[in-house]
């Protein structure tokens, strides 16, 4: 009785929305749980933690292009194949921002600007592609059926877009500082700030050095911090914080799964929207990596590493 009464108060889904949207959004909510494993047990085998010499390693630049290209392709394909209402102008702006980010991340960064990257173990592009597939399809569906609640005439919308642009620019800028450490001096985009770079590389027994410039003065991973800012601003512009789960959510699952879903009368009637789940998923994925990377900097460079630097959030963490 309790579950059926609860479901009566849940709104009907928007007309035409794919029935898979709600189950997959619920599945996405389980993603951040991996943070316990990646913080205390495992670390993703790429970059400074790559498994050198593994037969399962792939070319870092090409693998990065392949796995990140899944995001824009999925977003466009989902919008094309779904019978959705006309996209609002606000949704079109946000789709443009998303595609701008991934054009840089999937094409310009690995294939044009980045020097040779460390190899990627095959599991990394496989998992990243799966994550991009889920995230992009949910975002596309959300922008089509749960469009932004603010309009182009709203200062809040454009302040959010400005926040996205600031985060995007900061992410690109700090990534290029890191890339400069692996470029020959004549090809660098910025003047090297650390005159002791060669000593750093000797200490790391490779091509790693302590990055300087921008927010590196305060944290070890300002590129992560800027990306969180970027997608938080995007989510703020994209629409609601929560999306209601209609009773139809449980009716299109069969067998024991459908019976189990139908019995979730105790489950909250709302889930985080895909935009905010994107932010939560990024934070849960990047924070363990940042903690391990910060520890690696301290252990590798010892007294050479600035002790006042935080991990990822200036002055806080």
Taking only the tens place, the pLDDT of each residue in 48-106 is 555 555 678 888 899 999 999 999 999 999 999 989 999 999 999 999 999 999 999 99
- The average pLDDT across 249-274 equals 60
- CA distance to 150, 154, 311, per residue, from 158 (Å): 10, 7, 30
How confident is residue 209, by pLDDT bands cut at 50, 70 and 90? confident
- pLDDT bin (cut points 50, 70, 90) of residue 113 is confident
Q: What is the mean pLDDT of residues 182-194?
A: 67
Q: What is the 3-state secondary structure (H, E, C) of 197-213?
A: HHHHHHHHCCCCCCCCC
Query: At residue 307, does pLDDT exceed 70?
Result: yes
Which of 161 and 198 is assigned the larger pLDDT?
161
pLDDT band at 3 (very low <50, low <70, confident <90, very high): very low
CB 295 within 8 A of CB 220: no
Domain-wise residue ranges, the chain: 29-304
Q: What is the distance between the alpha carbons of residues 49 and 181, in angstroms, rounded to a whole number?
A: 17
Highest mean pLDDT among 62-71, 245-254, 256-265: 62-71
What's the predicted TM-score (pTM) here? 0.86
- Which tokens in the block code for residue 14? 């928007």
For residues 6-15, give the mean pLDDT: 62
């Amino acid at each position: 009785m309790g579950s059926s009464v609860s479901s009566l108060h849940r709104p009907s889904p928007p007309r035409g929305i794919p029935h898979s949207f709600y189950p997959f959004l619920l599945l996405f909510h389980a993603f951040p749980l991996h943070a316990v494993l990646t913080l205390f047990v495992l670390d993703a085998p790429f970059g400074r933690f790559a498994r050198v010499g593994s037969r399962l390693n792939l070319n870092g630049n090409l693998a990065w292009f392949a796995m990140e290209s899944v995001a824009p392709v999925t977003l466009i394909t989902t919008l094309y194949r779904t019978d959705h209402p006309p996209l609002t102008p606000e949704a079109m702006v946000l789709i443009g921002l998303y595609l701008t980010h991934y054009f840089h991340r999937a094409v310009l960064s690995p294939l044009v600007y980045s020097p040779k990257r460390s190899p990627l173990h095959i599991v990394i592009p496989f998992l990243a592609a799966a994550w991009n597939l889920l995230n992009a399809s949910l975002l596309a569906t959300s922008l089509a059926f749960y469009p932004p609640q603010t309009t182009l005439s709203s200062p809040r919308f454009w302040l959010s877009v400005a926040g996205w642009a600031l985060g995007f620019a900061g992410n690109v800028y700090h990534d290029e500082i890191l890339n400069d450490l692996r470029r020959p001096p004549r090809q660098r985009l910025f003047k090297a700030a650390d005159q002791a770079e060669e000593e750093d590389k000797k200490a790391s027994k490779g091509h790693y050095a302590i990055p300087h410039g921008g927010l590196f003065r305060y944290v070890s991973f300002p590129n992560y911090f800027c990306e969180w800012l970027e997608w938080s601003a995007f989510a703020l512009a994209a629409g609601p914080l929560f999306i209601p789960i209609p009773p139809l959510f449980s009716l299109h699952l069969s067998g024991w799964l459908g019976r189990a879903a139908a019995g979730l009368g105790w489950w909250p009637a709302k889930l985080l929207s895909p935009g905010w789940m994107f932010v939560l998923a990024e934070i849960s994925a990047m924070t363990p990596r940042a903690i391990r990377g910060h520890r690696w900097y301290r252990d590798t460079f010892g007294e050479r590493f600035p002790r006042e630097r935080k991990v990822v959030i200036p002055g806080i963490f």
